Structure 1
């Protein structure tokens, strides 16, 4: 088990690294059909699928891009969704008539990131350290709203989350 997970949840890309508590660290690598490396695109793709609970399936990162490129007219591609975290005017996106708040999309994104980490993130660390922007995007960003949305998003981790 590793001591901490560091996560840079960026507008365009996300990077994750684990630390063992003894000075060692390792970037998490991802391998899809079309892409490999330590960056995980901050994107989601949704499509209707009657075989899954709720009727909507999804992917994140490079898998979201691959799904979009395979069936662009049958899916909803969402990129840079972090840009609305501090926006009071953003309440939800309608994905195939299903409302999704920023927190919902963020939790889904985190679950997909963990599932594509090839087992490296299956054990939960004691701490998750998350970078946050110095300045939030938008005309009148609300930093308190952004922090509340981030806390709700990272609640899915089930461990102590520290923002730096």
Structure 2
């Protein structure tokens, strides 16, 4: 677990649980939203059909695919927080410029929870899930794209080897 510098997490209305495919973003995001008694958004559900088909076909998204999607995600988070006070969103947000784009489009700080861990463990978890459009073959490209937090980012990195309850407890502690 590593806390980063930045503005206070208590002020952040927008929370993004991020990481590579199969890291547990949806599971942890849903549980974190429940623990905080706030709404949950799965950014995967906001992908345009063309993005889903591209990934389902085994091709990684390019930046031209991502920018409009990230804008949709930022709008959804901001609109939900405006109505409900705070929101948790599961979104890959693998690169610094993607995180910056989300912040810019949302128009306010975002607290990030990075789920990170051993590639073999994540690959095993990914292989055991059903019904997701992201094929395991794209995991290497996800790890190659992932950029860890920089010192000025508001975020925490959690090791996915821990139990779900432990990860949620660590995230809640970071956000309160």
Please tell me the TM-score bracket, short chain as reference: 0.3 to 0.5
Greater Rg by CA:
1
Which of the pair has the greater relative contact order for Cα pairs under 8 Å at 6+ separation? 2
Q: Which protein has the bigger helix share?
A: 2
When normalised by structure 1's length, the TM-score is 0.37
